[in-house]
């Protein structure tokens, strides 16, 4: 069902634990895709803590730490997220998760579903 998918990039653009692919989900929301342990994952580019985008520089989601490439890092408060699950394992939103997007990789192309969920920020459980 290729008409339900949208091309966001080519497989060669995603290096293991490297720069991510940023893309527009809708007029107000961005997403990103990364490669970790050989798998491509995509998420809404929004931290569950405050709703800010994760990348500290465009496409830089793994952060500039000694453990580079092991966790996705929120640029605002340093929360750490597991790349394969999106679960926050350290920081102010510990236990929360990034909003996943359906992503596929085949024949050298990376696509996402055209219809995506619209996540909300739980301010009650994750205050500033």
**Residue 17 Ramachandran class (φ > 0 left, ψ -120 to 50 alpha, else beta):** left
pLDDT tens for residues 11-60? 999 999 899 999 999 888 999 999 999 999 999 999 999 999 999 899 99
Percentage of the chain lying above the pLDDT 70 cut:
83
**Residue at 121 is within a domain:** no
Give the global pTM: 0.85
- The total number of structural domains that make up the chain: 1
CATH of the domain at 25: 2.102.10.10
- Element housing 88 (H / E): strand 88-90
Give the mean pLDDT of the chain.
86
**Residue at 120 is within a domain:** no
Residue 63 has pLDDT above 80, yes or no: no
Domain that includes residue 97, residue range: 2-113
**Residue at 128 is within a domain:** no
**Residue at 67 is within a domain:** yes
User: For position 127, what pLDDT does the model report?
Assistant: 40
**Residue at 9 is within a domain:** yes
**Residue at 118 is within a domain:** no
């Amino acid at each position: 069902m290729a008409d339900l998918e949208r091309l966001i990039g080519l497989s060669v653009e995603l290096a293991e634990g490297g720069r991510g692919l940023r893309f527009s989900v809708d007029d107000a929301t961005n997403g990103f895709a990364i490669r970790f342990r050989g798998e491509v994952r995509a998420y809404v580019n929004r931290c569950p803590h405050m709703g800010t985008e994760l990348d500290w520089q465009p496409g830089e989601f793994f952060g500039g730490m000694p453990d580079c490439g092991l966790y996705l890092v929120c640029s605002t408060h340093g929360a750490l997220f597991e790349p394969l699950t999106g679960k926050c394992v350290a920081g102010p939103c510990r236990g929360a998760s990034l909003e996943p997007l359906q992503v596929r990789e085949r024949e050298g192309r990376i696509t996402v579903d055209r219809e995506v969920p619209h996540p909300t920020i739980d301010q009650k459980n994750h205050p500033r």
